[in-house]
Amino acid sequence: MKILIATEKPFAAVAVNGIKKEAKQAGHEVVLLEKYTDKQQLLDAVADADAMIVRSDKITPDVMDAAKKLKIVVRAGAGYDSIDTEYAKQKDIVVENTPGQNSNAVAELVFGLLVYTVRNFYNGKAGTELKSKKLGILAFGNVGRNVARIAKGFGMKVYAYDEYCPNEVIEDAGVHAVQCRNDLFKDCDIVSLHIPATAETKQSINYEVVNQMKKGGILINTARKEVIDEPQLLKLLAEREDLKFITDIKPDADEEFRKFEGRYFSTPKKMGAQTAEANINAGIAAIKQINAFFKDGDTRFQVNK
Ligand SMILES: NC(=O)c1ccc[n+]([C@@H]2O[C@H](COP(=O)([O-])OP(=O)(O)OC[C@H]3O[C@@H](n4cnc5c(N)ncnc54)[C@H](O)[C@@H]3O)[C@@H](O)[C@H]2O)c1
């Protein structure tokens, strides 16, 4: 089988070598399309591919139409909103993600950003500590669980809300399960977003929701920029000078957010999963899933069933 690695933002070389090794052992051929600048390059490359490994690359209907032999696309990462999963389903193309492979990387960055924020972006002035502060985790998935584990090490009081995860799972992890999303915003000093971008969650973090936060509240987003209602959050930050917003996903309105100096910070590029470990883990998981799919028809990680 021909497996295309199509990555506008390439994997680390060590991850590519690992993918090639795993593919070769299973008798597959790997073709590499990195740093492409034109969609046509992707359309050409995918023409004879049986499988595809992508990162944040957009897999739209035209890409799938150009891929006459494509049977499976694996997104090396957690979120898969960059892939038109419904269209893939219509075309009998299996879409998978590689859950959990980058969640520790994202969770560690949450704390890098938080310490930076509570210490006033290292401006030399006395800040505050995370110990004993209430942290609210919105969505107790792979990233949320890692955030909870690390937060406990900091001595924080940890709360979580997840629409689909049973309370027992949250409580078993030593985390307080709250009954509704509003309670998380009302009661916690810091709220960390780990919801996927879905029809239900897009723009769901709006003026009304965030305005419930206590004085001095910090909102941190390492999920997706689409979950934030940016105009409404800008309005709220203008009205409430006590609130802070930090993220590793530059909002569309970054310029306007920057006006809130000392209360807003965004990494220049999406950084959550940018570690050597996450790169390698996700890339190797992707090829293993493809190998299992062709060998045994394994679709355990399919997200468009
Ligand atoms: N910043 C980055 O570089 C980076 C890296 C990895 C993942 N992410 C983002 O983080 C998100 C979470 O990643 P993950 O690995 O934890 O995913 P996951 O699939 O393991 O967990 C998502 C959780 O969200 C919950 N959920 C879904 N809809 C909800 C809703 N409306 N309200 C409350 N909870 C809801 C689900 O029940 C699940 O527990 C991803 O979807 C992705 O968008 C960002």
Closest approach atom of ligand 1 to CA 248: 1
Mutate to test the pocket of ligand 1, among 143, 225, 281 (most ligand atoms within 8 A of CB): 143
**Neighbour-count burial of 232, counting CB atoms closer than 10 A to its CB (0-12 exposed, 13-18 middle, 19+ buried):** middle
DSSP 177-201: EPSSHHHHHHH-SEEEE-----TTT
- Residue located nearest, by CA, to atom 3 of ligand 1: 272
Distance 110 CA to ligand 1 centre (A): 14
Give 217-226 pLDDT, tens digit per residue.
999 999 999 9
Q: In the chain, which ranges are continuous DSSP H helix?
A: 13-25, 39-46, 61-66, 85-90, 103-118, 142-153, 167-172, 181-187, 207-210, 230-239, 254-257, 276-296
Q: What is residue 84's predicted lDDT score, i.e. its pLDDT? A: 98
Beta bridge partners of 102: none
Give 31-61 pLDDT, tens digit per residue.
999 999 999 999 999 999 999 999 999 999 9
Q: What is residue 90's predicted lDDT score, i.e. its pLDDT? A: 98
Closest approach atom of ligand 1 to CA 102: 6
* Closest C-alpha among 266, 269, 248, 270 to residue 257: 266
Mutate to test the pocket of ligand 1, among 104, 162, 167, 249 (most ligand atoms within 8 A of CB): 162
pLDDT band at 76 (very low <50, low <70, confident <90, very high): very high
Across 215-238, average pLDDT: 98
Residue labelled with tokens 């021909």 = 2
- Residue located nearest, by CA, to atom 23 of ligand 1: 141
pLDDT band at 86 (very low <50, low <70, confident <90, very high): very high
Give 272-294 pLDDT, tens digit per residue.
998 989 989 999 999 999 999 99
b/e for 170-198, b at 16 or more Cβ within 10 A? beebebbbbeebeebbebbbbbbbbbbbe
Any long-range contacts for 296-303 (C-beta under 8 Å, 24+ apart)?
A: 299/94, 299/96, 301/74, 301/96, 301/97, 301/98, 301/99, 302/94, 302/95, 302/96, 303/80, 303/85, 303/95, 303/96, 303/97
Strand arrangement, sheet containing 264-266: 176-177, 157-161, 134-138, 190-193, 218-221, 244-247, 264-266
Looking at residue 123, its amino acid is: N
Across 170-176, average pLDDT: 98
Across 176-200, average pLDDT: 97
Residue labelled with tokens 């399960």 = 177
CB distance 51 to 4 below 8 Å: yes
Number of neighbouring beta carbons within 10 Å of residue 108: 16
Q: What is residue 250's predicted lDDT score, i.e. its pLDDT? A: 97
Distance 139 CA to ligand 1 centre (A): 6
Q: Whole-prediction pTM value?
A: 0.90
* Alpha carbons 76 and 140: distance in angstroms, whole number: 20
SS3 content of the chain, % helix, strand, coil (to 5): 40, 20, 45
Count of alpha carbons within 13 angstroms of residue 45, beta-carbon side: 24
pLDDT band at 242 (very low <50, low <70, confident <90, very high): very high
Q: What is residue 175's predicted lDDT score, i.e. its pLDDT? A: 98
* Alpha carbons 66 and 92: distance in angstroms, whole number: 14
pLDDT band at 163 (very low <50, low <70, confident <90, very high): very high
Backbone dihedral region for residue 229 (phi beyond 0: left; psi -120 to 50: alpha; all else: beta): beta
* Alpha carbons 4 and 15: distance in angstroms, whole number: 14
Give 126-148 pLDDT, tens digit per residue.
999 999 999 999 999 999 999 99
Percent of the chain surpassing pLDDT 70: 100
Termini Cα distance of the chain: 23
pLDDT band at 8 (very low <50, low <70, confident <90, very high): very high
